[in-house]
Structures are given as C-alpha cells and as structure tokens.
C-alpha cells in the first residue's frame, strides 16, 4: 500500500542519534554511524522525529510500504519501554488525531491489564509531517486593565551577558560553581514568571533546538562548559511542542562528551503558559 513514511537522507545524517528518543515506536536505530529505518511496520509516518534532526536529514514521503502495525508496535516496543513511553506514545497519537490507532493501543493495554494514562490534548496534529509547533492559534486573554492601584514592579534576574549559546564564551568565569538554567528561546515569551522561577540565582543559556543551524557546535560548547567548570546543577526549560524535545538529548550528549553527570531537572511549558 502507498502511505506516508519516514525518509532519511544518508548524506546529511551524521549519526547524532537525537531522533531516536523521539521515536518511541522503535522504527529508528543508529547502524553503521547513520540513522536507519529498521521496519516499515514500526513507522507511523507522523514525523515526531523530524523536528529533532539538527541536519534536516529526515523528511516524510509517500511510497509503497507495509501497513503500520499499532498492535505489534505496542507489544514489541512501547510496553517494554515503560509507563513514560506508553504515555508519550498515546499522546503522540492523540496530537495527530489518530483515534483508530489510539483505540488499538488502549485495547492492547487493557488486554495486558496495564493502567491507561490520562492524556491531555494540547494541539492538533502534523498534517503532512508538519511540526505541531507551527500550528497557528490565538490564545485568549482578559484585556481589561489592571484594577490594582499599585502594580508590582518586577526586576530582572539576569546575572550575565550574553545569554544566547552561539555568543557565549565557555571560558567565562561566571560559570564557576554555577547553577545553569538552559532555556528554549520561546519559553520566556510563554511563561510570565520566567525571571523569578527559572533565572533567579542561575546563569542563563538560551537556544532553539529546531531553528538554530549549529546544534553540533552547541553540543561541543556545552561539553566544554561542563568540562571546564564546576557546574552544580542544570535546569532545562522547554516548550511542550515536539520540535523542542531535542533539548534534553542535546544537553545529555554534551554531558556524556564531558564525562560528567549532573543533577538535571526538566520543566515543560505549555503554549498557554503553564508548567506541565
């Protein structure tokens, strides 16, 4: 049958592996230094892995392929990976409007007496493989002026400059004994209390895992920061959209390169400005 399925440009792929955690279906593996689609049966063609490829090596195409087998994916890959992967997979199906596949997945869980996680629908899916982060939507607010007679004046909690990872010098002394707050570029616009909650007392780094073209250089620069300085903790703040999910893999790869293990906390912000 003809259907949408992942296509990998092997000339662009550098084998970084950032796509792997974002394919809970288990369709991708790193083989001989390149990402490979190991089975048409495991690829749903919805493109959750696309936004996490720094080299833009992954696209979708319509071609002859074996039908995607949701039951087999659940039994052979998803369930074995644990409750977090089960929830991520079900949310992935919901976000893409794949109600039939979702029902099959739930049925498999019921048959195996596994608890079915509650899934909150946050945004519509990826028609044609488009990232949900590009889906335009208006966010309603109460536009009436504040009734408070003396509104609180907020102050900046920024402790260093610059903040954009591309501009930061990894040898800067302000990294010594620092707690890091590493944020996706969009987060401060979505989360109103960003300074107080995520910047206060921390050194701030920002970048975009989707649009910035220098992800490999970012990994190298972060690894140098981790190697050179005594970093006390790392707080990751990213948006809920799938294209932001690569932040965790990027930072983990930098820690691995530096042969360091740090206390890392991940915070996910919804487009409505809530911490999930």
pLDDT score recorded for residue 117 = 87
Q: pLDDT > 70: what percent of the chain?
A: 87
Judge contact between 190 and 273, C-beta under 8 A. Answer: yes
pLDDT tens for residues 140-156? Answer: 766 666 555 666 778 89
pLDDT digits (tens, 9 = 90+) for 32-44: 888 888 888 888 8
Mean pLDDT of the chain: 84
Quickly count: other Cβ atoms within 10 Å of residue 140's Cβ: 6
The model's confidence at residue 105, banded by pLDDT at 50, 70 and 90, is very high
Cβ atoms of 248 and 209 closer than 8 Å: no
**Looking at the chain, which runs of residues are DSSP E strands?**
2-8, 28-31, 34-37, 58-64, 179-184, 203-207, 233-239, 264-269
* Range among 118-127, 171-180, 240-249 rated most confident: 171-180
Give the mean pLDDT of 208-229.
88
Q: Do the beta carbons of residue 261 and residue 226 sit within 8 Å?
A: no
The pLDDT of residue 85 is 83
d(CA 17, CA 58): 12
- What is the pLDDT, as a whole number, of residue 42? 87
């Amino acid at each position: 049958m003809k259907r949408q399925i992942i296509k990998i440009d092997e000339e662009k792929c550098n084998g970084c592996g950032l796509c792997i955690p974002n394919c809970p279906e288990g369709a991708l593996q790193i083989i001989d230094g390149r990402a490979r689609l190991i089975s048409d049966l495991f690829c749903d063609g919805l493109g959750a892995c696309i936004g996490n490829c720094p080299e833009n090596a992954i696209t979708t195409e319509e071609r002859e392929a074996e039908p995607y087998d949701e039951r087999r994916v659940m039994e052979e890959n998803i369930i074995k990976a644990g409750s977090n992967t089960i929830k991520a997979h079900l949310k992935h199906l919901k976000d893409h409007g794949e109600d039939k596949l979702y029902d099959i997945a739930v049925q498999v869980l019921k048959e195996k007496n596994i608890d079915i996680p509650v899934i909150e629908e946050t945004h519509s899916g990826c028609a044609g493989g488009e990232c949900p982060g590009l889906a335009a939507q208006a966010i309603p607010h109460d536009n009436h002026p504040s009734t408070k007679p003396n509104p609180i004046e907020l102050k900046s909690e920024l402790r260093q400059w610059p903040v954009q990872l591309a501009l930061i010098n990894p040898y800067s002394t302000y990294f010594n004994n620092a707690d890091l707050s590493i944020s996706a570029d969009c987060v401060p616009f979505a989360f109103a209390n960003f300074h107080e909650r995520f910047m206060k007392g921390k050194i701030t780094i920002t970048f975009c895992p989707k649009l910035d073209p220098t992800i490999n250089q970012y990994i190298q620069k972060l690894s140098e920061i981790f190697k050179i300085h005594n970093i006390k903790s790392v707080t990751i703040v990213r948006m809920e959209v799938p294209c932001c999910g690569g932040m965790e893999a990027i930072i983990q790869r930098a820690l691995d390169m530096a042969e360091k293990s740090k206390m890392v906390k991940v915070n996910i912000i919804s487009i409505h400005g809530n911490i999930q």
